Amino acid sequence: MAETKNHEQGLHTRDNAKPLVVAISSRALFDLDESHSVFESKGLEAYARYQISHENEFLKPGEAFQLVRKLLALNAAKLNHQGVEVILVSRNSADSGLRIFNSIEHHGLDIQRAVFTNGESPFRYMKAIGTDLFLSGHADDVRQALQAGFASAMVLPGAQNRPGGEQLRIAFDGDAVLFSDEAEKVYQAEGLEAFSRQEKQRAETPLPDGPFRPLMQALQNIQSAYPIENNPIRTALVTARSAPAHKRVILTLRKWGIRIDEALFLGGKPKGPFLAAFGADIFFDDQQVHCESAREHVATGHVPNGVRNLQLHE
């Protein structure tokens, strides 16, 4: 895979000729609450027996199901873009995982590759897979992937599979997600006034990359194969920033050559209602408080990155 390590930021750059690759756990793709409760109460062996005995009962869609369906639909247009590949990564064994593949086939998802690890973390396969985005229900796996420079999020239980159009709509937070947490560190250490002063003074200086910049670039590469007016992908930046801190964000995206379709500078207001109005298929944020607001309305991925999450684990 033509992927190199950016040592300055600790992030991975990507080969734009390869497909956008999404690695997703079975718990993010399907509703496994019932079978997971068997695992929690009776252990791995009982869980495996349960899955095998129910392998002809199809699983219901999970929080990230509609996201995956819409991503895979981008391949149908046969336009000149790199396409999308979704790879199942599961802590099931191949034997107990047969129910998951039966459900994939039942729902008509074009997922052909899988990694089954029988209880072990699938993290070590992220580079071999060529992962651009890793979605999981396991927090430790997500943290490991983020530390290695992969865009990763823990898919939270909450709103899911709401009826909507066929356009894929993805929303991102800014600091610690699209951008580094450089500015957030100032806010945490010195307060809002110092944060606002720095962002105003450094408005012309691009923010460093965050873990989701390569994913945003990959999405834009696909978007560019379609007209702006009738595009199957729509993106939004939904941030707690407000004026004057908005200017550095706008100029950073301009410097990167990335076009965000919608930008919401909310100045600390709850994000959930705005994400519902946008119709996000998924929203990525590093702060639990914003994730709690968001997941009441849309599928939400917590990105345990940056100073806010470091504080939670000290």
C-alpha of 170 from chain center: 9
Position 169: which residue type? R
- Give yes or no: 175 in active site: no
Look-up of token digits 């869980």: 47
Query: Smallest Cα–Cα separation from 62: which of 91, 104, 98?
Result: 104
Catalytic residue (one of 173, 181, 209, 281): 173
Q: Is there a contact between 172 and 212 (Cβ–Cβ < 8 Å)?
A: yes
Contact yes or no for 281/160 (Cβ under 8 A): no
Q: Amino acid identity of 172? A: F
As a whole number of angstroms, the distance between CA 132 and CA 23 comes to: 8
Please spell the DSSP secondary structure of 231-283, one letter per residue.
-SEEEEEEES--TTTHHHHHHHHHHHT---SEEEE-TT--SHHHHHHHT-SEE
- Whether residue 14 contacts residue 3, with contact meaning beta carbons closer than 8 Å, is answered with yes
In the three-class reduction of DSSP (H, G, I as helix; E, B as strand; rest coil), residue 36 is classed as helix
CA angle 192, 193, 199 (to 5 degrees): 85
42 SS3 class: helix
Residues designated catalytic: 173
